[in-house]
Amino acid sequence: MTIKADRQIDAKGLACPMPIVRTKKAMTDLIDGQVLEVQATDKGSTADLAAWAQSVGHQYIGTTVQGDVLYHYVRKCSNEGIVETPFPQTVSNEQLLSLTDGIILDVREAVEYAFGHIAGAKSIPLGELDARMHELAKEQPIYVICRTAKRSDLAAKKLASAGFDNVYNVVPGMVEWQGALEKIF
């Protein structure tokens, strides 16, 4: 079965947040009800696009895979009255270095985590967060980090919606992290 989309964009070879940035831009040119096909190779783009679409009121339809390429389908829905707002509770990379309590939750993909993460950080990729929230204590401060603070923003919103009150998005994220890193490889 061939899936018909009203517009296609190529995000192959791009990592977070670029597939979302390109999708967001392309959605402005669509009218309500039209479908956008996003071609990507970043495995994390599935969870990223689904969470982004939900946060702004579009419909994430699904993903098909052909070889190494993921074909994501997003339907534009009227998002009048929906304003994309960042998660309000944030800490800077510098502030995170001086904190002594809480857990650092790394929501990047496992391969990103393996090649460099903050010592003691717990890895739960964004796409696994719903199924693994039970691993986190609601009363404990949770500092959510990713590469550019985009996935961590979405994860912080999910956690807050699930009743976690002490959640912080780490801004700007690993892309500017100056502290020590641990590697699995």
Q: Which of 15, 16, 145, 170 is catalytic?
A: 16
Residue type, 77: C
Q: What's the rounded Cα separation, in Å, for the pair 163 and 131?
A: 15
Angstrom CA distances, 62 to 71, 86, 165, stand at: 8, 25, 30
Q: Please say if 16 is a catalytic residue.
A: yes
Q: What's the rounded Cα separation, in Å, for the pair 20 and 11?
A: 9
Helix pair 45-56, 151-161: axis angle to 10 deg:
60
Q: DSSP characters for 36-85?
A: EEEEE--TTHHHHHHHHHHHHT-EEEEEEEETTEEEEEEE----TT----
Residues labelled catalytic: 16
